[in-house]
Amino acid sequence: MDLYSWFIQNREIFRIIYALIIVIVCLLIALRTHKIFKLSLHQGVRYFRNAFAFYGLAFVLRYLLGSTYFFTGRTIAQSYTLIIAFEFLLIMAGFSLIYSLIYKKFEGRYESFSSLFNLRFIIFYCLALVVAVLDILWSTYLFMFVLQIILFIFASAIGYSNYKKDKGKHRFLKLFFLVMILNLVAWIANFAVAIFLNWLQLGVIIVSIINLVIFLAFLYSVLNTTKRKNLKYFGATKNG
């Protein structure tokens, strides 16, 4: 048996390992960015933190609770509910990431209100739910893919604009822009594998590796940001 065949035969175990790594990375990012938010009260950081809470929950649902390795005998309704919840959380993560870049257009830098339950995010919740339900009704992921590609095109453009305005003073803005580009590439690759290659196993493996690299790159960016010299960008210091 060659390596590829062995990998495919044990793909459920690898899916669980893959999900666990991403969930742990998301948890670390959420905890680190929560620390920055507490030091700075920077609203953009708060929405960035929320994005990875959504990502972490999405992977818990899809790859752990949704795994046939642990849970068997699910009804069709339960399977559909898991898919809708997974899509909903992924879309909300995308909305939260892009909102972390543009929040100043809608609110003050230090406003204090719920970052999860406000009018703007209620609209996002409704849009995410509509997209997830449409994908279920049409038995596709097309609506989610198209929305995410559009979101990350905008996120990449905004990230580049922020980096240029900063003139390279803060390295993490460059890292953030590069990670946005990687996200865009990953969603385009997901779209191609799903729509044109009908979830070809080799394509799924490649996309999974790209996703893992992106999350690790995000973690590196966040760890770099929590260094004392970079905390000043958010108006914070180690002493608060």
Q: Which two tokens stand for residue 239?
A: 């002493």
Mean pLDDT along residues 110-132: 86
The number of CA neighbours under 13 Å toward the Cβ of 103 is 22
Q: Tell whether pTM > 0.85.
A: yes
What are phi and psi for residue 81, nearest 5 degrees?
Answer: -65, -40
Q: In order of start, what are the domains of the chain with their CATH numbers?
A: 8-234 (1.20.1070)
What pLDDT is stored for residue 99 in this prediction? 92
Residue 108: pLDDT band by 50, 70, 90 thresholds? low
What pLDDT is stored for residue 238 in this prediction? 44
DSSP label of 11: H
Helix axes 43-59, 76-102, angle to 10 degrees: 160
Q: What is the dihedral of CA 44, 45, 50, 56, to 10 degrees?
A: 140
Residue 13: CB partners within 8 Å, gap ≥ 6?
69
To which residue do tokens 């003139």 refer? 167
Q: Which two tokens stand for residue 116?
A: 């999860």
CB 143 within 8 A of CB 129: no
Please name which of 37, 57, 40, 41 lies closest in space to residue 49, comparing C-alpha atoms: 37
What pLDDT is stored for residue 74 in this prediction? 73
pLDDT digits (tens, 9 = 90+) for 138-182: 999 999 999 999 999 999 999 889 888 877 666 667 777 888 898
What pLDDT is stored for residue 168 in this prediction? 65
CA–CA separation, 145 and 147 (whole Å):
5
To which residue do tokens 């490649």 refer? 206
